[in-house]
A and B are shown apart, each in its own frame.
Chain A
Amino acid sequence: MMITRIFAATAPEGGELPNPLLPADYDIIWSSVIFVILLTFFWIRVLPSFKKMLDERAQAIEGRLAEAEAAQKAAEERTALVEAEQAQLRAESSSIREEARSEGAAILAELKQQAAQDAERMVEVTKASLSAERDAASNALRAEVGALAIELASRIVGEKLKDDAVANRVVDEFISELEGKKV
């Protein structure tokens, strides 16, 4: 029964019971005034600086992130540079080694060739000298053999064959005959 009495309390001095659903004019006025003041306060002062602070913070955090990113990028670049240098050096050394190897091979080949040439030349020289000696010997022999033969023939044949021209022709014919036989 309490609730009933709450709502049905006797009005003081015969006045009518107030209805809590009907606003009094001062009630509405004070509520509106307070609302407008608070709205203006939040709209103009609190929220703009709150938003500004959040933006600033987001920016600062973003800036720091960008900084870190840049630093990382720089480090990466440096690493890449070092690596490239290393690769270059490695390539260079390997190319030098390759070059040296090929150069050595070339030198070896050259030496071999030279040796071969030398040998060939020596052979040729020897051959030439041999043939020259042989020629000389054969010429000398030819001359001597001719003279001896003529002497011998003239001794055998006598005075008839003293004419030199005839004698030389006969000897040459004889020698070429001999050579023909030899071949």
Chain B
Amino acid sequence: MDAVNIAELTGNIAVVGYGLAAIGPGIGVGLVVSKTIESIARQPELAGRLQVTMWLGIAFTEALALIGLATPFIFG
């Protein structure tokens, strides 16, 4: 460790990348679920269909986070 360095960071920048990649999908999944809850509160009789759509929405959004997790393997 150099005397000039006060704090030293070690590790891989890809981790920061993944942290960034997880922000968007995190917000996205939150939005999907919150909107579904609102809709179910409004029309409880549609709960079944809305839940199926919610899972689809989550799956698509979540894919982005998982692509983020996979990028180190592709470009690493």
- Residues of A bordering B, CB below 8 Å: 1, 3-4, 7-8, 19-21
Contacts and interface: CB of A to CB of B under 8 A. Distances in A.
B74 A4 contact: no
- Tell me what chain B mostly uses at the interface: helix, strand, loop, or mixed: helix
Interface in B48-76: 70, 72-74, 76
Contacts of A19: 73
Contacts of B18: 3
B10 interface: yes
B74 A1 contact: no
A8 B73 contact: no
B61 to A, nearest CB: 21
Contacts of A4: 11-12, 14-15
Contacts of A20: 73
Nearest to B74: A21
B74 A7 contact: no
Given A3-B18, A7-B76, A21 B12 contact: no
Contacts of B70: 21
A7 B11 CA distance: 11
The 9 closest A-B pairs by CB, nearest first: A4-B12, A1-B11, A4-B11, A21-B73, A19-B73, A4-B15, A3-B15, A7-B72, A20-B73
A4 to B, nearest CB: 4
A4 B72 CA distance: 10
A7 B15 CA distance: 10
Contacts of A8: 12
Contacts of B73: 7, 19-21
Given A7-B12, A7-B72, 13 more contacts: A1-B10, A3-B18, A4-B11, A4-B14, A4-B15, A7-B14, A7-B73, A8-B12, A19-B73, A20-B73, A21-B70, A21-B73, A21-B74
